[in-house]
Each structure stands twice: as C-alpha cells, then as structure tokens.
Structure 1
Amino acid sequence: MDVFKVYNKESHFKRAQELLKSDSEADHVYACLELRLCIEAIVYQTLLHGMKSIPKNIIEKWQPPQALEMLTKIDQFAEGKLTVSVNLSNSLAPPVNGWILLGERKMPTVKWLKKNYQALGNYLHLRQPSKVSTPRKTTAKEKANSIAKGLEDLISGNLLMCTKNSDIKISSCLFSPDCEGEFFFNAATIKSGDEITCHECRSTFIAKKENEITSFSSKIYDIECSSCKKMLEVEDSKIKSLEGFTCKYCQSKHLIRVDYSVALSKDS
C-alpha cells in the first residue's frame, strides 16, 4: 500500500494555496479545512506505515495532535526533521564526502501541531452569538497563510520510519483498577527518571531501569502539612483525582482545590 497516495498531503496543500488566491472569505475558510486535512495526511502517513508496530490506541486517535503526542512516547524521532544518508566508504573513520541521501523525515512538533491544528478549526464553525458582533483579530486568510508557511517545508518529506514492535511495551494503568487506560514506552530508549502518562486518566509514573528491567512508580509531590508544617509525600494520583490526603504525623485532613483562570485568546 502506497501511504503517500492514500494520504496525499501535496494535493490538500495545493488546493489550500489556490483557495487563498481568492478574494472570497468562504474560499479562505475552505483553505483552512484543506490545511487541516494536509496536517492529518502528514501524521496519518506515519501511522499507516507503522500500523503493525504502533499500539492500537495511537492508531485509533482521529486527531493528529493527540496521536503524535502519544507516538513521541515510544519514538524519539516522531517529531521534527530527520535526514538519513548512507556512505559506502570502507574507512573506519567517519567519511566527509560520498554520502548518499536516502530521504528526509519531516514531521511537525507536538507543540506546533496543537496550536495550529486547533487554530484552523476555529474558522470552520459559525461564530457564537456572544462573539458575532466582534470581528476576529485575525482573518481566516491571514491565519491560513501563516500556517501554510510552516507546512510548506513539511510537504517535501519523503521518508517514513517507525520503531520496531519488539521495543514497544504496553502496561495497564497503575493508578486504579477502575482506570481502563494504558501507557506504553520504548524499552530500548527509556531511562530511569523518565515520566510516562496514562492516556486515559493522565496520571504520571516514573520509570526505574535496572539490569534491563523497567518498573514504574507513581509520581510523588513533597507538600507541607498546613497544620504541623512537616513535609508529606503525596502521590500524583491523589492530586489529579482531588481525593485529598491525611497528614501521617498530626492526622490533619487536607482537601485539594483546583483553581481555574482564563485568558482572552488571540484568535477571539
């Protein structure tokens, strides 16, 4: 199966470019859609190429930002650009000349993808009644042109790579028997101290590697008891579940409160 034909990133990008030449705002909205399809094609090419090696949870993610973020947990080269060349030299020292380019793997970073995939999606819906009287600070054409510049170099990527299946390990979430999530890691590259997150409950676990055996423990926070002022070790799972905790020294009970704040989006 030719994944480059199944997910033709070039065709979506070219259609977006043509639509952006128009003076019609409706065409600019469709350009945003084509750029989102282009982004999906770039990520899905990698997923389709490595379908037999990549965990099912990643393959089934329909939104590229989440899929790529999960992929980076097992593949250190999942994001960014990578050039692969070979050399036929028999010298033991690294040769300077004679390198043959095999191809370039060009993927967006997770940070760029999250920001811009969502930004394009904002133009694919009608404005909410509370915002309809306020014009957007950035037009669909301006936003699409800006994101297209970032995509332009990624289009020429012609190499797909994936981690060997034997290196990918999957573990059930350690947070709670009720959590049906999993986390996965690359056994060949994981190091002690690396953090792994369950895709379902978002609990964080710390890796410990000894004699090629990897184990995990819950992330621990040092928190001062508000009553006796002694330091307590509180598991990450208790923080995220808002479960609360009791001081083991003075038995004071602590509640966990989540504070929310908002800021005005630049795309408003």
Structure 2
Amino acid sequence: MDSKPYNKRKHLAYAKLLLRNSDLSSLRHASLEMRYFLEAHVYERLLKDADQIPKSIIQKWEPNKAMKMLSMFNKLADMDLKLTITAQDGSSPIIIQYNNIKNSELTKIYNSLGSYLHLPQPSKAKSFSIDKDKLVKIFDKIKLLIRGNLIIIKTDYETFECESCKQPILFTRWYVEKNESITCQNDSCKVEHFIERYEGGCRFGSKIPCTCTCGAELEIFHSQLKIGEIIKCTSCLVNYRVDPNLTKIK
C-alpha cells in the first residue's frame, strides 16, 4: 500500500507558520496541524508494513491506538532505530537513523493537542486560552521525527486457524510472550482465543469443552457465552440454555 498521501513535513511546516502568531485561532489550527503530523508519521509507518500486519491495526484511525496495537506484535514498533553499514573491514561507516516516538508519549501529546480543538465548556468559556509555550515545546519535541529515514525491520508473523470462522489469525512470538489471549482479526468473527504456552511452543483455544448427552461435542466459545443463550447440538438437535449456577465447595 502507498504511504505517499501522508506528507508529514507539510503539516509540520504549517504548524511552524501558525506558531508565529499568538491569537486563539492560529494556535488552535497549529494544534490541529501537529495532530495531522503525528497521524501522518504513524500511517507512514503502518503502510510500509501493510502486507504483513493485521488489517485491524491499519483500520484504526487513532494513531496512538494503532501504534499500541502494532507494538503488541512488534517490540520495535515505537523505538528509535539505527542502521550502520560498513565496509567488510568495518571502515567507512554509513549510519541511517530513524527517529520514532514512544507510545506513552504519543498518546500524551496527541490527547493534549486534541484538548485544544474543542469549544470550552460554558463555565470556562470566558477564561479559555491556549498555552503557546506548551505548543512550542511540543513542536520542538515532535520535529525530530522528520529527521532520518524510515527503517522497517520485518517481523516474522505466523498464523493459526480460528476455531470459529476458520480464517487465519496472525500472531508473533513477541505477542505470545506478552499476552494471554488473541482475538480473531476477521471483523465478522472476533472470537477470542486463549494462549497456552509450553516449552518450545504454544497452542490456542477458544472453546469450552462440553459434551451433549448424545455424546457429540457442543460448540461453545468462551468469549461469546451469554447467560440465557440457547445452544443447539448439531448432532441430535437438543437445545440447551446457559444458566448461572453456583457450586458449593465442600
């Protein structure tokens, strides 16, 4: 997918011009341009890796949430990267730098800028102002993101079959190490699969083991189980209702 529509330098340049002024309208529009800049930075990163990453990440329009999701699969997603290329003897190094922003900082700045884009509450309307010095500090911090070159280190994605819709679910070893479950990335499914790790590998499961009186296995997915739900055995067609039940512990 093409990342050219996202020209982050343009938005930073507009913000710089607007910050020369001190009126409320200019500062509000400077905040908007810096938000656009952060969005362009994130989308540029996502689209360069679009052939691999789950579609659900790319479809997130909020950049901080998109990067948080990507970081769950790729530990390098929000890190600065440096690539050094040298001759065989180690001489004549060429250094390529990519400046990034940590998810926590991205969220803080993005939300802070967003707070200036709304009309103030009636009780604060008369005293409302935008702190120009704060915006200038944000500008100085994020302008580092235009220096250097985008570096993408391909992540080894693996797949397993969803137990419900049978579509492939993407995961990485990094994700498995840091999470207890993963949701099917098929928008019409979204069944949650729990992760069980063992020495040398892992397995995924989404069903609750339950046998009908006829001996057939009932298809019950943990993340979709609701009190009062009717479950039908596909073998003998007997219906079951899910009821809350407490078992006394002796």
Q: 1:89 to 1:36 in 2, by over 3 A?
A: same
Q: Tell me if structure 2 keeps the 8 A contact 1:89–1:98.
A: no
Q: Tell me if structure 1 keeps the 8 A contact 2:60–2:66.
A: yes
Whole-Å Cα distance in 1 between the matches of residues 139 and 23 of structure 2? 18
Letter in 2 for 1:75: N
Identical amino acids, percent of aligned pairs: 31
SS in 2 for 1:15: helix
Letter in 1 for 2:74: D
Equivalences for residues 53-202 of structure 1 within 5 A:
53-89=52-88, 95=90, 97-101=91-95, 103-135=96-128, 139-164=130-155, 167-169=157-159, 184-187=170-173, 189-190=174-175, 192=177, 194-196=179-181, 198=183
Per the TM alignment, residue 204 of structure 1 is displaced from its structure 2 partner at its CA by 9.6
Q: Tell me if structure 1 keeps the 8 A contact 2:2–2:47.
A: no
SS in 1 for 2:115: helix
Whole-Å Cα distance in 2 between the matches of residues 146 and 171 of structure 1? 48
User: Structure 1 stretches of 5 or more lacking a match?
Assistant: 219-236, 238-244, 252-268
Q: Could you tell which deviates more after superposition, 104-113 or 53-62?
A: 104-113
Whole-Å Cα distance in 2 between the matches of residues 154 and 40 of structure 1? 12
Q: How many residues align?
A: 212
Whole-Å Cα distance in 2 between the matches of residues 207 and 217 of structure 1? 8
Whole-Å Cα distance in 2 between the matches of residues 66 and 248 of structure 1? 41
User: Structure 2 stretches of 5 or more lacking a match?
Assistant: 207-222, 224-243
Letter in 2 for 1:163: K
Q: Tell me if structure 1 keeps the 8 A contact 2:11–2:37.
A: yes
Q: Tell me if structure 2 keeps the 8 A contact 1:59–1:67.
A: yes
Whole-Å Cα distance in 1 between the matches of residues 10 and 195 of structure 2? 43
Whole-Å Cα distance in 2 between the matches of residues 33 and 171 of structure 1? 42
Per the TM alignment, residue 118 of structure 1 is displaced from its structure 2 partner at its CA by 1.2
1:30 aligned residue: 29
Per the TM alignment, residue 168 of structure 1 is displaced from its structure 2 partner at its CA by 4.2
1:223 aligned residue: none
RMSD: 3.7
Whole-Å Cα distance in 1 between the matches of residues 25 and 82 of structure 2? 39
SS in 2 for 1:124: coil
Could you list the per-position Cα deviations for residues 166-224 of structure 1 after superposition, in whole angstroms to 9, with x for gaps in the alignment? 5243775x9xx8xxxx975313x4565644564999x895551433x322579xxxxxx
2:232 aligned residue: none
Q: 1:193 to 1:118 in 2, by over 3 A?
A: closer
Q: Tell me if structure 2 keeps the 8 A contact 1:206–1:217.
A: yes
Output the TM-score relative to the length of structure 2.
Answer: 0.69
Whole-Å Cα distance in 2 between the matches of residues 60 and 149 of structure 1? 29
Q: 1:44 to 1:207 in 2, by over 3 A?
A: farther
Whole-Å Cα distance in 1 between the matches of residues 2 and 178 of structure 2? 39
Q: 1:65 to 1:193 in 2, by over 3 A?
A: closer
Q: Could you tell which deviates more after superposition, 80-89 or 25-34?
A: 80-89
Q: Tell me if structure 1 keeps the 8 A contact 2:19–2:27.
A: yes
Could you list the per-position Cα deviations for residues 30-65 of structure 1 after superposition, in whole angstroms to 9, with x for gaps in the alignment? 100100010011001011111111111011111101
Identify, as 1 or 2, the structure richer in strand.
1
Could you list the per-position Cα deviations for residues 4-24 of structure 1 after superposition, in whole angstroms to 9, with x for gaps in the alignment? x43211111111011001132
SS in 2 for 1:169: strand
Q: 1:50 to 1:33 in 2, by over 3 A?
A: same
Q: 1:132 to 1:193 in 2, by over 3 A?
A: closer
Letter in 2 for 1:57: S
